[in-house]
A and B are shown apart, each in its own frame.
Chain A
Amino acid sequence: MTEPAKTSTGVGRRAFMGAALGAGIGAGVASAALAAGLGTDAAMAATDGEATPSASSTAPHSSFPFHGRHQQGILTPAQRASAFVALDVTAADRTELADLLRTITDRARFVTTGGTPPDPGLAAPPRDSGILGASIVPDGLTVTVSAGASLFDERFGLASVKPARLRTMEDFANDALRRETCDGDLLLQICANDRDSVTHALREITRATRGGMQVRWRQDGFASPPRPSGTPRNLMGFKDGTSNPDVTDAATMAALVWAKNTAPEPGWVAGGSYHVVRLIRMLVEFWDRVNLHEQENMIGRRRDSGAPLTASHEFDDPHYELDPTGDVIQMDAHIRLANPRTSATADQRMLRRAYNYDSGLDSNGNLDMGLIFTAFNSDLERQFATVQRRLADEPLTDYVSPFGGGYYFALPGARDKTDWLGRTMLA
Chain B
Amino acid sequence: MTRRSGFAVFFAAIGALVVVGIVLTILARPAAVSGAGAAASDAVSSYSVTAGTDACGSGWGGAARQVPGGEQSFTVTNGTVAGIEVYLQAVSTKKVYLDLESIGAGAHAAARIALGSGRYRFVCLPADADPVTGPTVAVGAAPAGTQLTPGIVPVTRNDLIPVAKAYGNWLASRIPVLQQQIARLDDDTAEGDPAGAKRDWLTAHLTYETMGAAYGAFGDLDATIDGSPASGRTALNDPDLTGFHRVEALLWSGAPADAVRAAVAPLAQAVGQLATVFSDAEIDPLDIGLRAHEIVENAIQFEMTGERDAGSGTTLATVDANLSGAAQALQPLTGILRSRYDDLDATTAALASSARLIESFRSADGTWTPLSALTRTERERIDASLDATVELLAPVAAICDIRREA
Contacts and interface: CB of A to CB of B under 8 A. Distances in A.
Contact of B112 (A1, A63, A116, A213): A116
A405 B150 CA distance: 43
B294 to A, nearest CB: 13
A119 B112 contact: yes
Interface in A115-151: 115-116, 118-125, 134-138
Contacts of A63: 37
A3 B39 contact: yes
Given A5-B33, A122-B152, A210-B391, A135 B403 contact: no
B390 to A, nearest CB: 8
A6 B37 CA distance: 7
Contacts of B97: 121-122
B311 interface: no
B387 A114 contact: no
Interface centre among A4, A116, A136 (most CB of B within 10 A): A116
Contacts of A3: 39-40
A363 B215 CA distance: 36
A121 B98 contact: yes
B234 interface: no
Contacts of A319: none
A115 B341 contact: no
Interface stretch (B17-25, B59-67, B202-210, B392-400): B392-400
Contacts of A343: none
B96 A122 contact: yes
Main secondary structure of the interface of B (DSSP, over half): helix
Contact of A4 (B39, B96, B387, B401): B39
A395 interface: no
Given A4-B37, A123-B399, A135-B32, A214 B383 contact: yes
Contact of A122 (B39, B390, B403): B403
A358 interface: no
Contact of A214 (B152, B341, B384, B390): B384
A207 interface: yes
Interface in A84-125: 88, 90, 113-116, 118-125
B359 interface: no
Interface string A206-240: 01001111101000000000000000000000000
A5 B40 CA distance: 8
B144 to A, nearest CB: 13
Interface in A1-30: 1-7
Contacts of A216: 380
Contacts of A214: 380, 383-384, 387
Contact of A120 (B34, B39, B149, B381): B149
A114 B150 CA distance: 22
B97 to A, nearest CB: 6
Interface in B169-207: none
Given A5-B39, A114-B38, A137-B37, A125 B394 contact: yes
A91 B142 CA distance: 36
A4 B112 CA distance: 18
A121 B383 contact: no
B36 A115 contact: yes
Interface in B79-125: 96-99, 111-114
A82 to B, nearest CB: 22
B42 interface: yes
Given A123-B399, A124-B398, A90 B381 contact: yes
A214 B377 CA distance: 10
B216 interface: no
Contacts of B41: 2, 5, 116
B245 interface: no
Given A121-B113, A121-B152, A122-B96, A116 B38 contact: yes
B226 to A, nearest CB: 27
B394 A124 contact: yes
A119 B113 contact: yes
Given A5-B37, A121-B97, A121-B149, A207 B391 contact: yes
Contacts of A213: 384
Contacts of B114: 118-119
Interface string B37-52: 1111110000000000
Contacts of B341: 123
B312 interface: no
Given A121-B150, A122-B152, A125-B398, A115 B112 contact: no
B340 interface: yes
A48 B394 CA distance: 50
Contacts of A210: 384, 387-388, 390-391
B367 interface: no
A123 B341 CA distance: 7
B380 A90 contact: yes
Contact of B384 (A116, A118, A119, A211): A211
A114 B37 contact: yes
B37 A113 contact: yes
Contacts of A138: 37
B298 interface: no
B151 interface: yes
B39 A137 contact: no
Given A90-B381, A116-B112, A211-B387, A137 B40 contact: no
Contacts of A88: 376-377, 380
B340 A123 contact: yes
B154 interface: yes
A5 B149 CA distance: 22
B385 interface: yes
Interface in A355-372: none
Which 5 A-B residue pairs are closest in the complex by CB-CB distance?
Answer: A211-B388, A90-B384, A2-B40, A210-B387, A115-B38
Given A2-B41, A4-B38, 16 more contacts: A2-B39, A5-B33, A115-B36, A118-B114, A119-B113, A121-B98, A122-B151, A122-B399, A134-B112, A135-B36, A137-B37, A138-B37, A210-B387, A210-B388, A211-B384, A216-B380
Interface of A: 1-7, 63, 88, 90, 113-116, 118-125, 134-138, 180, 207, 210-214, 216
24 contacts: A3-B40, A4-B37, A4-B38, A4-B39, A5-B42, A6-B37, A90-B380, A114-B36, A116-B41, A118-B147, A121-B149, A121-B150, A121-B151, A123-B150, A123-B398, A123-B399, A124-B398, A125-B398, A135-B35, A210-B384, A211-B387, A211-B388, A212-B388, A213-B384
